[in-house]
A and B are shown apart, each in its own frame.
Chain A
Amino acid sequence: MSITPVSGQEVVTMSGHLFDAENGEVLIGATVYVKELKTGTATNEYGFYSITLSPGQYHFVFSYLGFKPIDIELDINDDLQKDMELTASSETLEEVVVKGERGDVNVRSPEMSMNRLSIKEIKSIPVLFGEQDVLKTIQLLPGVQGAGEGGSGYYVRGGDAGQNLILLDEAPVYNPSHLLGFFSVFNSDAISDVKLFKGGVPSEYGGRISSVLDIRMNNGNNKHFGVSGGIGLISSRLMVEGPIKKESGSFIVTARRTYADIFLFFARDTLISNNSLYFYDFNAKGNYKIGEKDKIFLSGYFGRDFFLFQKRFGIDWGNSTATLRWNHLFNNRLFLNSTFLYSNYNYIFKIREDEGNLNLKSSIRDYSLKEDFQYFINPDNTLKFGAHLIYHNFLPGEITTEGGFPVNEKKLETKYALETALYLSQKYKPFSWLNLEYGLRFSYYMMMGPGEFYDLDEEGNIIDSTSYKRGEAVVKYPGLEPRLAVNFRLNPVHSLKLSYNRINQYTHLLSNTTSGSPTDVWIPSTNNVKPQLADQVALGYFRNFRDNMWETSVEIYYKNMANQIDYKNGADILLNELVESQLEFGKGRAYGLELLVRKNSGALHGWISYTLAKSEREFKNINEGKVYPAKQDRTHDLSIVAIYDLNKKWSFSGSWVYYTGNAVTFPSGKYQIEGKTINMYTERNGYRMPAYHRLDLGATRTNKKHKRFESSWNFSVYNVYGRKNAYAINFEPDENNPGQTNAVRLSLFSIIPSVTFNFKF
């Protein structure tokens, strides 16, 4: 492939990687700014940048949030390969100077409805049990809400949990929860970068209609070996990293294990104490540079939860992912990343009895291939294009028995589907006041044989069935998905942004519980289940103050969702071949306003986010076909996050959240069947949970450094003032007076203190 300059005039290209000087980690999204041209570029997901300009002398500023910027003057007459290392500004008290060209990305870039979190931030915010967690931190951002108390499930802009694409080093993670959702599968030691798209989703992403959470793992220290870890009340973690070959390859391995179940032994009741409940997980990654133009990355995740009740029955579940990537530079302007990835989620439900064993298993497995090109034409013009292919395997359920367990074995047919996409997008800045990113994604989905497929009528009855051979197409769904993001830069400190995206979703999460469960099922689109489709428009105003020390933004959005799915009342889903007959189809819409005020530097930093929103659904057989509020409907949602660095030794943090209760179904009346009082329901989601609020506080004490040994104590208190927030409200007869019925509030986690010791050497 040969690339010629765009125009006849002579141009030169400077390219390279940006690294963290301390450990050699690449810096993602770091900026390279050319003072004379008042323009610049940013590093990609692999820390690579490329900037093409006319020969001459320029001032370049290399910068990254939390790092000391480097300002150098270079005389460029030929193509230049320039790797740079930036040093973290560790003295947090000395205010990091934020100059106009580095802190204003939010105002300058066309991206909107996007939030980026630094690991430092994630680690300094207090959370339940002291276990820092990216999925809990994003719930403090505007437009994102937690699905349950202390949990890692989340909803974005009125969508449901199954509409969020969660990527770990590009591999989709199908169930991001550990341990009843109180932990996420992401160990913050293993993570380097977190990006959340709530709207204006770029064309290189697809497949889920509400959001994309792109999580990148650390590459490992390529300068020297290091060990770090933490010991907490209910979990511990350990990380080992180091160079494979100095400066050209490194590895990192992290592991985590909880021992929450030791608490169970304290319980006097053997019903509780005779159980086990824990998880572990591993992250591993290695990278190696082969010459100047090629780099190989291999990364993986493996995690598993175990739950065993009375040693007689249990369930274990978990994800495993593997990603193999190859970065290749055709020349200093054309970058290719090839990815092969594997992702698997499964659960096994087990019964161990005297008369034999039973296993009930279900899984979803993906194999995927991706080719992603980035072509840096000049600082104001970048092209991205590529092709993606995912091969899905769904095992809906299988019962096997051993030793004569008195049950018939049963296996539902494995289902196969192919999801492919081609995309092309351009980042283009025709004028200094206009910055565009537009693209087109063409997705194509095919459900394949072998198997017996049924045609169902609207009531879910079988009208016809057809048998398909291996590889034969059962149904095909093409989808054209335009994406657009526009930035009108009114002046250096404020801009107006507009975005639009259309996304198809071909796999669907069916959940019967409010907070999600390991046994929730993923199903493919078929002849009966059409792909979900969303169109979203968003408009935003972005403004920075005081030399970008303060960032503010206001966004409004409207999202229209077609082919939404819900269970029928009384749906029978366990090992049901005709699970599709148990579903209802409808439509939805969500709209809202989001405000964010963020202070990025200074001893006191943090943010305030506020969301005013509505999310509605319309299903023919629910609430007589009338529009009703979705369970994600939450009117007000406010989060305040503050971090205060007192001195080198002490740092304090606090977060306070307040939100309107979500829409929920409560009974309005009651009646009697066989002498028992039964609740009577009149409508879906006709009520609201009580308003929720909670304050968490944390403190970190950094101990004196002994030679290479660094350590710190982290203290946190969850729900400081012991607010009894309702986790669930049950409507039940009074224990002493069965004629009377009560609303009983179940609340979890009143004042939970925790302490963690972290070390590094």
Chain B
Amino acid sequence: MHMLNKILIKMNRFVLLLLVVSMLFSCEDIIHIDLKDTEPRIVIEGVITNLRGPYMVRISKSVDFYDPGEYPPVKGAVVELSDDQGNREVLAGNDEGIYLSTKMKGHPGRNYKLKVSVDDREYEAESRMETPVKIDSIKAEYFPGVGDRESGYYIHCFFNDPPDEENNYRLIAWRNGIMDQNLYLMDDEFVNGRPVDYYFYLTPFQKGDTVNVGLATIDRPVFEYYNTLFNIVAQQGGNSPANPANPVTNISNEALGYFGALAMDQMDAILEERK
């Protein structure tokens, strides 16, 4: 019933568990730390997939740590999406800092480029759309719930890793159409050419839920972005690496965020009792 992502989950869990053990003797409380003021930085999130558009680029700004959680949208930027076949499109933006494509189409095997001009600065990023890997099947398994892990049905996603190439994946789950916020990543370093059974270990579903699973094949720089982003999110959950830093981005000119070309395959199901 299990699979590889468990090694990494478990190695991470090991460190967490050490903390749990120490927590028998520990306590947490909120304190005030004086933090420096920051210059707002541009945050660009751009994704193109092989699925039907529109594709979205969201541009916002960072704020100081103790500010309320409102992130100023960046309006009026010139956002251009292009591919290596000469197709290009300038995306129309709205007041929320969201820029949408109308005619661009994502094709596996092409390189995509994002160009953003705002406040006299230019930001550029490139990402290659890999060949999508097909999901074989998905399965739900009941877990009674232990500790902070809720009871419910957890999803397995089965697929075959292609043997002759290096593959990097991001897996995404949607519950009743809403994207789950956990970041699920894997590469094929230890499972190259094998059937894979991926387990969404933090995302419980209940009976009657609509389950949608996406398997996105991504290029290495995007994988590294997600992976370093994951380290920060894990750190926010209390698992502190020695030297936290901003994720390794593929965007130039000191922007935060990333631009990714995701080659997706998806599968849907409705969770119901097997008769």
Residues of A at the B interface (CB closer than 8 Å) are 180, 263-264, 267, 269-272, 275, 277, 307, 309, 313, 315, 349, 351, 353-355, 358, 360, 399, 406-408, 410, 511-514, 517, 519, 566-567, 569-570, 572, 574-575, 631, 665-682, 684-687, 690, 724, 726-733, 738-750, 752
Contact = CB atoms under 8 A, between A and B. Distances in A.
Nearest to B22: A748
Given A180-B22, A569-B245, A668 B64 contact: yes
A71 to B, nearest CB: 52
Contact of B190 (A410, A681, A690): A410
A576 to B, nearest CB: 9
B7 A358 contact: yes
Contacts of A355: 1-2
A690 B45 CA distance: 36
Given A631-B242, A667-B65, A671-B256, A271 B147 contact: yes
Contact of A744 (B13, B29, B228, B231): B29
B69 A680 contact: no
Contact of B36 (A307, A358, A682): A682
Contacts of A744: 28-31
Contacts of A353: 1-2, 6
Max chain B CB contacts within 10 Å: which of A277, A569, A730, A752?
Answer: A569
Max chain B CB contacts within 10 Å: which of A514, A519, A687, A731?
Answer: A731
A631 B190 CA distance: 34
A667 B35 contact: yes
The 3 tightest CB contacts between A and B, nearest first, are: A739-B69, A271-B147, A570-B228
A673 B257 contact: yes
A205 B11 CA distance: 36
Interface of B: 1-4, 6-8, 10-11, 13-15, 17-18, 20-22, 24-33, 35-38, 40-41, 43, 45, 60-71, 146-149, 179, 181, 189-197, 224, 227-229, 231-233, 235-238, 240-248, 256-257
Nearest to A676: B181
B29 A731 contact: no
B148 to A, nearest CB: 8
A729 B33 contact: yes
A569 B237 CA distance: 19
Max chain A CB contacts within 10 Å: which of B3, B35, B45, B65?
Answer: B65
Max chain B CB contacts within 10 Å: which of A517, A671, A731, A741?
Answer: A671
Nearest to B14: A315
Nearest to A739: B69
B181 A743 contact: no
A462 B51 CA distance: 36
A182 B24 CA distance: 14
A523 B231 CA distance: 24
Contacts of B29: 724, 744-745, 747
B229 A351 contact: no
A675 B191 CA distance: 32
A749 B60 contact: no
Given A680-B65, A732-B237, 13 more contacts: A270-B146, A271-B20, A309-B14, A351-B6, A353-B1, A407-B191, A665-B244, A665-B245, A667-B35, A669-B63, A739-B68, A749-B25, A749-B26
Contact of A728 (B25, B70, B238, B246): B238
A740 B62 contact: no
Contact of B227 (A313, A570, A676, A730): A570
B1 A567 contact: no
Nearest to A667: B65
A671 B63 contact: yes
A306 to B, nearest CB: 13
B65 A407 contact: no
A406 B33 contact: no
Contacts of B241: 512-513
Nearest to B197: A406
Nearest to A732: B236
B173 to A, nearest CB: 13
A429 to B, nearest CB: 46
B262 to A, nearest CB: 13
Given A406-B194, A676-B181, A680-B38, A731 B236 contact: yes
A358 B8 CA distance: 12
Nearest to B238: A730
Contact of B30 (A674, A738, A743): A743
A725 B65 CA distance: 23
Nearest to B35: A668
Max chain B CB contacts within 10 Å: which of A307, A668, A726?
Answer: A668
9 contacts: A275-B17, A313-B10, A353-B1, A666-B33, A671-B60, A671-B61, A673-B229, A743-B30, A749-B26
A513 B147 contact: no
Nearest to A350: B10
Nearest to B42: A671
Nearest to A675: B181
A566 B241 CA distance: 13
A487 B179 CA distance: 72
Contact of B25 (A275, A569, A682, A748): A748
B10 A743 contact: no
